[in-house]
Amino acid sequence: MRDRLDYIYYRFYRFQVSVGNGSIAIMFSFLFLSFLLMINFFAFAYILYAFFGIKMPLQNATIGGLTVIGIICVVNYFLFIYRNRYQKIIKRYKGEKSATVRKGNIAVVIYMVFSFIMIATSFYLMIMRNRGLL
């Protein structure tokens, strides 16, 4: 799993460098990957609630949601930024062949689209459950 996250991080990094944002590529990749993981977490939580009625055990939804976001960001910080780990990730994937780069870009785009489809689906399922149709 960690290798996949490293690769997705690297793909986001390369994308930012290729569009001319090399100065912010490291931080953008970290933030965008954290954002996608947050979307995946909340989509999963909403789907659990929609189908099984399982709610996240939070007293205050705002504080709980911000805590989850904070934990995801802190974990990603230690996975990608702490002690310049991003340099090791970039070095590991730097010598890729163009076919591998193309395949990796497609995989990352699919992951992004899948994440947004999952959150939209989970919202729809929540609406259905709240209306009593599920």
pLDDT of residue 107 exceeding 90, the answer is no
**What's the rounded mean pLDDT across residues 20-36?**
92
Tokens of residue 123, six digits? 């919202």
pLDDT digits (tens, 9 = 90+) for 30-86: 999 999 999 999 999 999 999 998 888 888 889 999 999 999 999 999 999 999 999
Residue 90: partners with Cβ closer than 8 Å, 6 or more residues away: 10, 13
Looking up tokens 């599920």, which residue turns up? 134
Q: How far apart are CA 32 and CA 95, in angstroms?
A: 24
**In this predicted model, what pLDDT tens digit does every residue of 111-123 receive, in sequence order?**
999 999 999 999 9
Q: What is the CA radius of gyration of the chain?
A: 17
For the beta carbon of residue 62, count every other beta carbon within 10 angstroms.
8
**Average pLDDT for residues 75-104, to the nearest whole number?**
92
Give the separation between CA 69 and CA 64, rounded to whole angstroms.
9
